[in-house]
Structure 1
Amino acid sequence: MNQNTVTGDYININLRQLGATSIKEFNSIMHIAEFDLGDGLIVSYVFNITRHNKYFLQRVQTYFMIHGKFASDQEIIDFISSDLKRFQNAKNSHNFDTFLLISHLGHHVTENIEELFLNYNVDADKLEDIEKELEDSLTHILGLFDNSKKLDLPEIQDIPPRK
């Protein structure tokens, strides 16, 4: 039994204790864990164990988000536990459906920009217009950090905003 298998098994056991409804494992290095938070809200993660026993984590559902590299199995477990608690709390918000819609729109914007860039010859002025609109949107979003009340969730590990 190699180290990846033991480490993966340890993480899988802990994720089951957190309520994972499904865990799939591929070649002892890639794991997909799914959590059903009720009311149709499914949150799932993919993590890979690298050759150097580090971890690469992505949330793939409810929307896709790369969370990057982690140094230990406990960091993966702590992050997922905290993330799930945040989603459990967020799903009670009156704005949750709008939040999900905005997240999906952001994903579609990224997909379509790639499609446009890789397959079409677009006028430079049009691309600059898109760049300006996206910069304005990002500036607006970043301004909301300072102008919105931060949730007080003391039992949840604090995750800094990505600025």
Structure 2
Amino acid sequence: MRIIKMDHQHILKSSIHESLKVSCVEYSVEKLKKIVNTDLFALFTTLTLTVYSIIINKTLISISFILYSSVLLLQLVRICCMIHSESLLITAPIGLQLTTTYVTGRQMVLSLPWNCIKDILIVDLIHRQQVLFYLAVQTSQNGLIILFQKSKPRLHILEIIYRDTHKLIENNRKKL
């Protein structure tokens, strides 16, 4: 995969499979923000306070232990839910596949068959006095399905993906 665009939060990579030329394209949006030192520091501090609470009180039923262990659990859940990358694979006569990869290595895959795809859109919405842009696939059964929902790339990255994807959908719609 080659890097197409990069900003301070995301890297956009693309791959066009040479044997299939126009029918198979893959885009990957990687987040530059990995687990930062403050996350690790907060995790280590909470773990230390939890162990200290057990040693001092010699019991697991103290208020400080419950407080520290709940904060520790919240920190672990937050780190486990961090996104590493999201990739979109479009194979023209077959379908579309969105793969979300988390920092822990866990992956979630969403697949759509080609005959369900009506169109691809850039959707904007206002949330907390901020305009957000999403790439969405309009399907015949499920309505709109938001792509790159977790990584939230900026508009200039979405426009690159939209142009190529829309052209691929239109070219293959004419063939069918």
- TM-score scaled by length of structure 2: 0.29
The higher radius of gyration belongs to 2
Greater helix proportion: 1
Using CA pairs below 8 Å that are at least 6 residues apart, which structure has the higher relative contact order?
A: 2
- TM-score scaled by length of structure 1: 0.31
Greater strand proportion: 2
